[in-house]
Chain A
Amino acid sequence: MAIASGAIVLLILLFLIWETLPILQIIGLARFFNDPAWHPTSEEFNLVPMLWGTLFVTVGSILIATPIGILSAVFCHYYAPKAIANLYRRAIELLAGIPSVVYGFWGLVVLVPIIGRIHPPGPSLLTGILILTLMILPTITLVADASLASVPSEYLRGCASCGLGRWATVRGVVFPAAKSGLITGVILATGRAIGETMAVLMVCGNVVQTPKDIFEPVRTLTANIALEMAYAVGNHRAALFVTGLVLMVMIIALVIAAELLNKGHIYEQ
């Protein structure tokens, strides 16, 4: 049974490969990057726009959520009075507990119209980034919170005895001391952002195109699967499994990166 989890990972990979093997043998991996477009029913399988979609949404939300998340943890530890810090932690935990379909729904009915008023159409890269920011924020905050808690108090006393203010202490000593934990949180959040499906699916517009600005609709790899899986057959279905395989490779790369960085297990806080 100890192998159960390893077995499941292997099983997942096995099935992804099993389902994709026929198409990979016939048309090869290269066509998923070179084909003129994504028209799976007429045998055109270009995944590049979706790759860009996933990349932009992920990078955008990480760029916003990282400072907000880390500073939120800093707020809990060094700025807020104890009672407020505890309330704020509860709020972050709540944020973490809200299901992605609710984020997506709220984004769809509240955020999309607002963005649409600023710059039509509304469902866009920007909306996706904003919703995703909110969703991965708790991951970054909670991991950062834990790693700030393990900064030895001697450092803080040392800083205080040198007459350093809060911000100087945080920037100069706390961040370097907690660096690996903070990075781990960001890597975890990146994984979540890459894999997020429902919220992105509901607010991004899902047009297959490489976006030229943040107000254009995009489709991510995950949305691609969710949208077309219901009716896909044959090569089309296999192409969607290739999409899943690409996602899986990304996640494994991230986990290995984190393992190398941390020499420990990363999904543990």
Chain B
Amino acid sequence: MKYKTPYPELLSTAIIWAIAASVTGALLWLLSDVFWHGMSQVNWEFLTQSPSNAGREGGIAPIIVSTALIVGVCLVVSIPLGVGTAVLIAEFAANKSILGRLVRLSLDVLAGVPSIVFGLFGNAFFCKTLGMGFSILSGGLTLACMVLPILIRSTQEGFRAVPDDYRRSAAALGVSRIATLWELLLPAAMPGVAVGLLLGLGRAIAETAALIFTSGYVDRMPESLWDSGRSLSVHIYDLAMNVSGGEANAYASALVLVSFLVLINSAISWLAQRFRQSKILVV
């Protein structure tokens, strides 16, 4: 008796492979499109010159600087705040308590808040109420609120990789809680913090909507954190939507942005992989 593979099995196999192929195809299409069109524009001059003629010509030097400043402000503020919160939640707040649950719930909400709403908030709070105006500072602080939940979460992941045994044996040895934290937990949680940092960095660099009306549009070289500065993503948006003939430089800027993100992304997978391995060794 010859066995015949049932029809649904064959069909599903075909469909699933087709889906995987088309998703990969779409990704390659997008990446290669950005790469080929961008490649012909990106060169040393492009990276070091100022934009001219509304960005149609010239480069993106001030924009890169603004982006770096915005992201820098964001990370400098959010890292201590995020790691600190994670420590407190993990070590000092009982997980089952109502407070712990509320904190988690609000983290979930915070992680889901649309970036445009962060933009509204940043505009109302940082620009208006605190009087920072359209500035790199406003933008960076808005982004800090955005990446905070990411940082908290992956730091927590890192803590979870530390077996309770460590804590118990440290306590048994009479080591104080703070010392345990400093000497044992933080080093062990470092990979988690690093992953969180990279994730936050990726999110911050990619962000557009929250920046349009917090850090603004100005494409000059910023002189201080109180100046308005245009981020790379806002630059792409502006060239694509508001500047006819800006397509070529938009492609080039997109290539620069995507390259940054691919780099960050690769670093994350690499770290996460090492993280996973060390987890297996520890547990």
Contact = CB atoms under 8 A, between A and B. Distances in A.
B69 to A, nearest CB: 18
Interface residues of A, number: 78
Contacts of A95: 23, 27
Interface string B81-103: 10011001100110000010011
Given A6-B106, A97-B265, A105 B117 contact: no
Nearest to B241: A202
A240 interface: yes
A94 B27 contact: yes
B85 A104 contact: no
Contacts of A109: 240, 247
Contact of B269 (A10, A93, A198): A93
Interface in A94-115: 94-95, 97-106, 108-110
Contacts of B149: 5, 267
Interface string A60-76: 00000000100110110
A30 interface: no
Interface stretch (B48-56, B119-127, B188-196, B221-229): B119-127
Chain B interface residue count: which class?
35 or more
A12 B113 contact: yes
B17 interface: yes
Interface in A240-269: 240-241, 244, 247-248, 251-252, 254-255, 258-259, 265-268
Contacts, number: 236
B27 to A, nearest CB: 5
A33 interface: no
Contact of A91 (B23, B103, B111, B206): B23
B9 A198 contact: no
A14 to B, nearest CB: 9
Contact of B116 (A80, A97, A244): A244
A134 interface: yes
Given A79-B13, A99-B206, A267-B111, A4 B85 contact: yes
Interface in B176-211: 202, 205-209
Nearest to B23: A72
A26 interface: no
Main secondary structure of the interface of A (DSSP, over half): helix
B114 A230 contact: no
Q: Which 10 A-B pairs have the closest CB atoms?
A: A195-B114, A99-B206, A197-B209, A167-B12, A6-B106, A2-B88, A97-B265, A165-B9, A267-B111, A197-B116
Interface of B: 5-6, 8-9, 12-13, 15-17, 19-20, 23-24, 26-27, 29-31, 33-34, 81, 84-85, 88-89, 92-93, 99, 102-121, 123-125, 129, 145, 148-149, 152-153, 202, 205-209, 212-213, 233-234, 236-237, 240-241, 247, 250-251, 254, 257-258, 261-262, 264-265, 268-269
